[in-house]
Amino acid sequence: MRHSARIAVGPVQFRIGSDWREPVAALERLYAGYPGDDARPADATVRLFAARPWRRWLRPSVHIGGDFIVPDALPLPLSMGLLAAEMGMNLQVALGWRRHMLLHASAVARDGRALIMSGESGSGKSTLAALLGESDWRLMGDEFTLIDPAGGDALAFPRAVSLKNEAIAVVAARVDAARLGPLLAGTPKGDIRHLVPRADAIAAMHEPVRPALLLFPRFGGAVSVERMGEGEAFVRLTEASTNYVALGEAGFGALTRLVRGTPAFGISYPDSATGIALVEQLWAETPR
């Protein structure tokens, strides 16, 4: 393809090809601080392309393709090329990665132990992880957390955090503007702005950590904390995993061990500050 970039996030090496320079340039800016090995073969391929040659220039619209394709995915305008690239990368990992069990969850780590947060879009798991990642936690990722089926450790997938809507202002107020990507306004997912994780989080992205606490956050409403049983946590995580079924017995083993060995809570919180305080309190109460 005309333009391409190579990016390694956690254990996955991507190559992203594009019919336009802009999305690749935006990716290269966002991922400039990530370690790169030019000689490493790509595990996954993403393609950003125009459905017809003239659509490169005339009302340019970006189709998302690659090793795996969602047949009826709608294209995005070129101004949202960065979001298209992000969606393409997520898709390849969600459908193609088999080394680890993939949880659709954010995670942060402290003292070699991981706090994993799983929830629907809008639950605040990304915002909480981003905010914790600006304090004395290591951000592991806002989208996927990888569980090693052999040892049960959690591994990071620290792509650029996708901040949405109100969360943009909350986080932007606390970080150096150089770590923020361009504002993508009015996307199908609302306003989006990317946050580059701290350099120490990127440098430590290959270090495995033990899962210590599982949270299922829910943004909005009064403060509540409910202990969650192993069974419910198990079922929720099978729903949050994109490759649980494909991993077969290894996936069952990994998930069983995770919910048996890790205390789980459902939490509700009205605002980010309360959410952070709640998380810190539960973490302090978690037995070591």
Partner 1 sequence: MSAVRTFVDLLVGRRDPAALAPRDWDGVIGVARSEAMLATLAHQLAEADLPPTAAALFADQRAAAAVAQRQALWEAEMARRALAPAGIEFVLLKGVAYAAMGMACSEGRQIGDLDILVLATDIRRAENALLNAGWEWVKSDPYDDLYYREHMHELPPLIHSGRDRMIDVHHTILPRTHRITPDALALVSDAVTSRDGHAVLNPADMACHCAAHMLADGDLRGGLRNLWDFHTMTRDFAAADPGFWGRLDARAALHGLREAAHRAARLSRDVYGAVLPEGWDWQDPSDIWFVRRLFARDDWGRVTRPVLEQAFYIRSHWLRMPPAMLARHLWTKWRKRQSEASSGTSSS
Does residue number 238 form part of the binding site for partner 1 (CB under 8 A)? no
Q: Can residue 53 be called a binding residue for partner 1 (CB under 8 A)?
A: no
* DSSP-derived 3-state class of residue 12: strand
Question: How many distinct helices (H) and strands (E) make up the chain?
Answer: 9, 16
Tokens at 104, concatenated: 């659709």
Candidates 3, 13, 120, 175; binder of partner 1 (CB under 8 A) is 13
Establish if 98 lies at the interface with partner 1 (CB under 8 A): yes
Task: With contacts defined by CB under 8 A, name the span among 104-112, 213-221, 246-254, 277-285 that binds partner 1.
Answer: 246-254
**Cross-sheet strand order for the sheet of 184-187:** 161-164, 190-195, 184-187
- Does position 193 interact with partner 1 (CB under 8 A)? The reply is no
Location of structure tokens 């966002």: 30
Residue 63 in the binding site for partner 1 (CB under 8 A) = no
CA dihedral 182, 186, 129, 235 (to 10 degrees): -140
| 128 Cβ contact partners less than 8 Å away, ≥ 6 residues apart | 106, 117, 217, 272, 275, 276, 279
| By CB under 8 A, residue 99 contacts partner 1 | yes
Among 5, 9, 10, 15, binds partner 1 (CB under 8 A): 15
Per CB under 8 A, the segment of 155-163, 189-197, 232-240, 247-255 that binds partner 1 is 247-255
Choose the binding region for partner 1 from 59-67, 157-165, 169-177, 271-279 (rule: CB under 8 A).
59-67
- 67 belongs to the binding site for partner 1 (CB under 8 A): yes
Rounded to 10 degrees, the C-alpha dihedral 251/10/45/74 comes to 80
Q: Is 94 in the site for partner 1 (CB under 8 A)?
A: no
Q: Binding residues for partner 1, per CB under 8 A?
A: 1, 13, 15, 17, 39-43, 45, 47, 65-68, 72, 96-99, 245-250
